[in-house]
Amino acid sequence: MELEPEEGETPASPAGMLAARAKRARLKAGLSLRALAEKLGYPHTYLSRVENGDQLPSPALAQVLDTFYETDGLYSDLLAVAVSAEIPMYGRKVLDAEKRAARIQTFNSSVVPGLLQIEPYTNALFMESMPGKDAEYVALQAAKRSHRQAVLDSAEPPLYWAIMDEAALRRPVGSPAVMADQIRHILTVIQTNSAVRVQVLPFSRGVHPLLGGSLSLLTLRDGSTFAYVESFASGVSVDTPSDVLELATLLDIARSKALDSGESVALFHRHLKEYEDDC
């Protein structure tokens, strides 16, 4: 199906263009939102948010729209442009490196690592942590995170080794149901993706050198390594060998205090049961 812009239509952004084209394509096909939802297998409320520009589609939905409307990758391309346009300069290096990494080691002190987050968790997290931002901005941030997660399902995924503080499990983000689904997702990834390792650093192990921060070490396929340190509002890439070595040492100390894989899975299950009981 050919999708030409309406005369005089000048969407303000790639995200706006994607929303406008999605709605126009549905109307040209003579479908209601509920009828389209039945054909695509997605909730009509989700499709409505996409068409209204309140939420970007996931990469999976963008592909489904391209297939259904026979648009030769249009929606996937617009999604990629919309996501890329909103990436701050300090984060572009790490996002590019994730696609070329042989190994990603990461520590998160207060939330679930980004590549392991489910969409409802990310949305709830961003809604609370971005006061005053409009729905389109929040949707862009959530889409960026969703877009990144494809690296774990690529043909040659990096070894992804995540350490997370128990605080990320104890502090509810969204509802108990969201937290239960989030923990189930982590357990599923651990069980089905041999490239993923997840450990939890419990409160019982006391203090560690990465309290209150987020650190990623990315080793590229040529053997070079750089670090990415992120705060609540900014991030910085570190590639000086001596500084990378210092940060790697801090990560090693934190990892030495973490539970092993089996113990971590057991702790995930304990927290899962607590959230299920609260649902």
Residue-level pLDDT at 231:
65
User: 3-state SS string over the chain?
Assistant: CCCCCCCCCCCCCHHHHHHHHHHHHHHHCCCCHHHHHHHHCCCHHHHHHHHCCCCCCCHHHHHHHHHHHCCCCHHHHHHHHHHHHCCCHHHHHHHHHHHHEEEEEEEECCCCCHHHCCHHHHHHHHHHHCCCCCHHHHHHHHHHHHHHHHHHHCCCCCEEEEEEECHHHHCCCCCHHHHHHHHHHHHHHHHHCCCEEEEEECHHHCCCCCCCCEEEEEEECCCCEEEEEECCCCEEEECCHHHHHHHHHHHHHHHHHCCCHHHHHHHHHHHHHHHHHHC
Tens of pLDDT, residues 97-129: 777 899 999 998 889 998 999 988 988 888 877
Per the CB < 8 A criterion, the answer to whether 125 and 111 are in contact is yes
Tens of pLDDT, residues 214-239: 899 999 998 899 898 876 556 677 88
Residue-level pLDDT at 228:
86
Enumerate the CATH 1.10.260.40 domain ranges in the chain, comma separated.
Answer: 14-83
Fold of 89-278: Endonuclease; Chain A (3.30.870)
Q: What is the mean pLDDT of residues 27-44?
A: 94
Q: Which CATH class is domain 14-83?
A: mainly alpha
pLDDT exceeds cutoff 70 at 92:
no
Query: Taking Cα atoms as reference points, which of 258, 86, 94, 279 lies closest to residue 179?
Result: 279
Q: pLDDT band for position 6 (50/70/90)?
A: very low
Residue-level pLDDT at 41:
93
pTM of this structure: 0.69
Enumerate the CATH 3.30.870 domain ranges in the chain, comma separated.
Answer: 89-278
Separation between Cα atoms, residue 178 and residue 134, nearest integer Å = 22
Residue-level pLDDT at 81:
79
**Which amino acid type is present at position 34?**
R
Per the CB < 8 A criterion, the answer to whether 79 and 59 are in contact is yes
Residue-level pLDDT at 112:
94
pLDDT exceeds cutoff 50 at 89:
no
Enter the tokens of residue 215.
């650190």
Tens of pLDDT, residues 144-168: 677 778 888 888 889 999 999 999 9
pLDDT exceeds cutoff 80 at 140:
no
Give 225's strand partners. 219
Enter the tokens of residue 221.
């396929």
Mean pLDDT of the chain: 85
Separation between Cα atoms, residue 82 and residue 53, nearest integer Å = 12
Per the CB < 8 A criterion, the answer to whether 59 and 66 are in contact is no
pLDDT exceeds cutoff 50 at 9:
no
Enter the tokens of residue 248.
């790697």
Q: What is the mean pLDDT of residues 64-82?
A: 90
